[in-house]
Amino acid sequence: IALANLEGGRIGIAAQAVGMARAAFEAARDYAHERETFGKPIIEHQAVAFRLADMATRIAVARQMVHHAASLREAGL
């Protein structure tokens, strides 16, 4: 019984981590739109845009993994 509860808790903690990562990404994206260097927002610099794109991709993958784990748990697998 305890192990079953632990597994569900792990999925919940993973979901919280994804939520925190998403909030951090949104804050970084908003900052990149506001902050300017060399007369343009830093979001327009390729390195920054690539970093944010990589962050968004990793967050999307983590979110799907949490959904998959929750689906497996719900199915009893």
Question: What digits encode the pLDDT tens for the residues 40-65?
Answer: 999 999 999 999 999 999 999 999 99
The answer to whether residues 61 and 24 touch, using CB atoms and an 8 Å cutoff, is no
- Say which CATH superfamily domain 2-74 falls into: Butyryl-CoA Dehydrogenase, subunit A, domain 3 (1.20.140.10)
Residue type present at position 10: R
SS (H, E, C) 18-43: HHHHHHHHHHHHHHHHHCEECCEEHH
Query: Letter for the amino acid at 48?
Result: V
Q: Which residue, 44, 43, 17, 41, is CA-closest to 29? A: 43
Domain extents for the chain?
2-74
Question: What pTM does this model have?
Answer: 0.82
Only one residue has tokens 């327009």, namely 44
Residue 76: which pLDDT band, with cuts at 50, 70 and 90? confident
